[in-house]
Amino acid sequence: MATPLTDQEKRKQISIRGIVGVENVAELKKGFNRHLHFTLVKDRNIATPRDYYFALAHTVRDHLVGRWIRTQQFYYEADPKRVYYLSLEFYMGRTLQNTMINLGLQNACDEAIYQPHKLTSHNDNADFFSLGLDMEELEEMEEDAGLGNGGLGRLAACFLDSMATLGLAAYGYGIRYEYGIFNQKIRDGWQVEEADDWLRHGNPWEKARPEYMLPVHFYGRVEETRDGPKWVDTQVVLAMPYDTPIPGYMNNTVNTMRLWSARAPNDFNLKDFNVGDYIQAVLDRNLAENISRVLYPNDNFFEGKELRLKQEYFVVAATLQDIIRRFKTTKKGVPGRTSFKSFPDKVAIQLNDTHPAMAIPELMRIFLDIEKIDWDTAWDLTRRTFAYTNHTVLPEALERWPVQLMEKLLPRHLQIIYQINQAHLDKIAALYPNDMDKLRTMSLIEEDGSKRVNMAHLCIVGSHAVNGVAEIHSNIIKTQVFRNFSELEPNKFQNKTNGITPRRWLLLCNPGLAELIAEAIGEDYVRDLGELRMLNDLVNDATFIRDVSKVKQDNKVKFAQYLEKEYPVKINPASMFDVHVKRIHEYKRQLLNCLHIITMYNRIKMNPTAPFVPRTVIIGGKAAPGYHMAKMIIKLITSVADVVNNDPVVGSKLKVIFLENYRVSLAEKVIPATDLSEQISTAGTEASGTGNMKFMLNGALTIGTMDGANVEMAEEAGEENLFIFGMRVEDVAEMDKKGYDAMAYYKKIPELKQVMDQITSGFFSPKNPELFKDLTEMLFKHDRFKVFADFEAYVKCQEKVSKLYKNPVEWTKMVIKNIAATGKFSSDRTIKEYATEVWGVEPTNLKIPPPSEPREAIEETVKALKKM
């Protein structure tokens, strides 16, 4: 009888992760051994799992370097139009496995790592893979690069993957935060933040480029000279670039993400040379270097902090210098560019939300003050270069910088913004004579109270294209948030529905499903997710239904084992995994989910013998450290979990887990195991969402409102294949007009009344009955997101979910229909639309030649480094 294949052996056979070649395996072993000795200076007696991770990472990176250099050479020679994606956040997660997959090395690495070998000698040249290393253990050694809060930063990471896969000459520019998004600990049910020192062990994927260090200026004053305004007496901070390779999927393209780190200059400008002043001056270097110290953890709330404005200007000032250097540099034998007429033909800059908006006045400053271009020409070039993506309609999230702060920090830029605004208002006044309201609402400068610069208005006026990130969101910004601007320039406003990369969010995180799909329809779907439509032919195929169901169950068993290791709760893998993971915010309505959990608990308690579809409700996400209400929501969820999980009457019917420290690497574990995806924001508040797409691709069904990309998911899969409930955008608008009366719902719905009475009476907080008073008062008196209004519809919809879950065949058929409908939600499709409709570049998927042999590569390196 044949021995069944182990999981490791199954993984080796997965064709879409690369074909295993004997030469490849031998080469990887040799590289691993070399790096363990010569890079890490360790032998097998003292090497730790982290050392083995670093040895493997360096080995894999070796396979990137030739391709990386060759890609940059190719761009230098071909001189295509380049795309620059400016973002204050890149939520990259881990890099090792993604790189192995995109290079087609996953299986060869697995083979080299897993295959047992006998030691042939006892010297230091023995086969280090005979240690029986576990690939998953090595992958767990890698720190998440958590340089983002949530969706906006993760979108930027998906876009980089797609731009490389499509062969675009593209660059990501951001900040190399020393501390990323905080690590979340749950202590006594409360969120506690700990610093994310993600670089403490080093980062094998980045390459410092001190030779490209650039000065960035702050403060000072503007001096009027014969040659025009001059920004003088500034304080200088240096921007040190760190480059990370971004490999495309199986195409030899390796693009660059360049992140800037703040460094203090060496000249301390000491007046006295006594020891005290010198020591203090050295210590004061930290003040300059604080700029890149930490990621701001507020994603949907604007805080007008000076350090944040410094970060925003720091990244755009360094980036624009770099862009202009690259624009002026032409290939050998061709004179360098001195005219900027072709700048928008060679440079496209995408602003990922308003955070990099200072790029607009900064490029104007460079054109006017340094390159001596006249205003009209400079403004025309600037507008044709920039495009702006809006990510939120929440008013508290929109950036409005105090004029007083900007005048102190960036005085020349404020002058330029005033001049841009004057020309803009003159145009409006000419079109709408005597319409003071239009002038007031469309001005870049808000004057009610203290003067502020509206950064969204600056982005709209200074860009040639503005887009939302889902159809419903783009319509809201056109017809409501920026209606006057849209009426002024209707052709400027577009929609670009967000997407996700199928490489990370299927191949990497769900290899079982990825291989099953490849066996059914071939491997082309990895590059063209629209191919998944072919799965519709298999909706009634009993074998395929069984196989899809088995993959899901295997993922659930694996995740249940993880949960039981991390939390003191026994998980039933046969229960429905009902998952709600995203940042904790009132508009995302984790509270609505929590009220439903309590409702289910009450139903079980009232009739313990009644039939009940078992559920494991999993909620995860981080609350901004200063967001009191979000932290109270976490405390309520954990308090409810304590009661539910320890009630013997409830038993295994209902379990509640709050996932601590939700992050990219944890998303890769929970998403493939999910049955039900919670996307329940109030209609009209979520710009798009991308978690919804990840769950859909991985075989979860969605319960959600008609909000964000849920609307398009329902269009693609058919509304009957999602569990849609609740108010639509127009219903919310109507309720806003009439007024929302929370108390009326409380009095009308008995189960809601019972739940709220339990919370207010201290049922879930017996030691402190008043603990949730702030939360209940908000729900009753000033809930902008109308939780009670959707409660009844939500509970009824959840009953439909439970009913279908009892019929596994019909449930899985609906799952297959959803997976088949995810083609639209690939970030490859999104990037193709940006490329052709915004940036004016063709995604040609240029065939970059494979890297040279090592000896030739070394010679090429010297030439190419100057071109990067």
- Concerning whether 319 is annotated as a catalytic residue, the answer is no
Give every strand in the sheet of 452-454, ordered side by side: 400-402, 452-454, 445-446
φ, ψ (nearest 5 deg) of residue 84: -120, 120
- Concerning whether 589 is annotated as a catalytic residue, the answer is no
Distant-in-sequence, close-in-space partners of 697: CB < 8 Å, separation ≥ 6: 500, 502, 505, 506, 819, 822, 825
Sole residue written with tokens 């603990």: 771
Cβ atoms of residues 653 and 675 within 8 Å:
no
Catalytic choice (326, 583, 655, 786): 583
DSSP string for 787-814: HHHHHHHHHHHHHHHHHHHT-HHHHHHH
Catalytic choice (82, 457, 556, 582): 582
How far apart (Å, rounded) are the C-alpha atoms in residues 690 and 117? 43
* Residue closest to 254 by CA, chosen among 509, 19, 70: 70
- Concerning whether 786 is annotated as a catalytic residue, the answer is no
What is the C-alpha radius of gyration for the chain, rounded to an integer number of angstroms?
28
Task: Please give the C-alpha separations between residue 43 and each of 28, 51, 52, 117, 498, in angstroms, as whole numbers.
Answer: 17, 10, 10, 17, 47
CA 155 from chain centre, in angstroms, equals: 4
DSSP state of 213: -
DSSP state of 408: H
Catalytic choice (165, 385, 501, 690): 690
Cβ atoms of residues 85 and 355 within 8 Å:
no
* Residue closest to 785 by CA, chosen among 770, 775, 795: 775
Q: CA dihedral in degrees (565, 566, 571, 573; nearest 10)? A: -70
- Concerning whether 694 is annotated as a catalytic residue, the answer is yes
Sole residue written with tokens 């208002």: 425
How far apart (Å, rounded) are the C-alpha atoms in residues 254 and 168? 10
Catalytic choice (391, 473, 655, 824): 391
Strand partners, 261: 240
Task: Please give the C-alpha separations between residue 245 and each of 170, 367, 448, in angstroms, as whole numbers.
Answer: 12, 31, 46
Helix residue spans in 463-621 (DSSP H): 471-476, 483-488, 502, 511-521, 542-566, 590-606
- Concerning whether 690 is annotated as a catalytic residue, the answer is yes
How far apart (Å, rounded) are the C-alpha atoms in residues 218 and 316? 13
Catalytic choice (478, 492, 694, 786): 694
Contacts 24+ apart (CB under 8 A), 127-133: 127/29, 127/33, 128/29, 128/32, 128/33, 128/36, 128/44, 128/47, 129/29, 129/32, 131/44, 131/52, 133/52
- Concerning whether 582 is annotated as a catalytic residue, the answer is yes
Catalytic choice (12, 588, 655, 817): 588
3-state secondary structure of 636: helix
Helix residue spans in 124-206 (DSSP H): 135-140, 151-165
Which residues carry out catalysis? 391, 582-583, 588, 690, 694
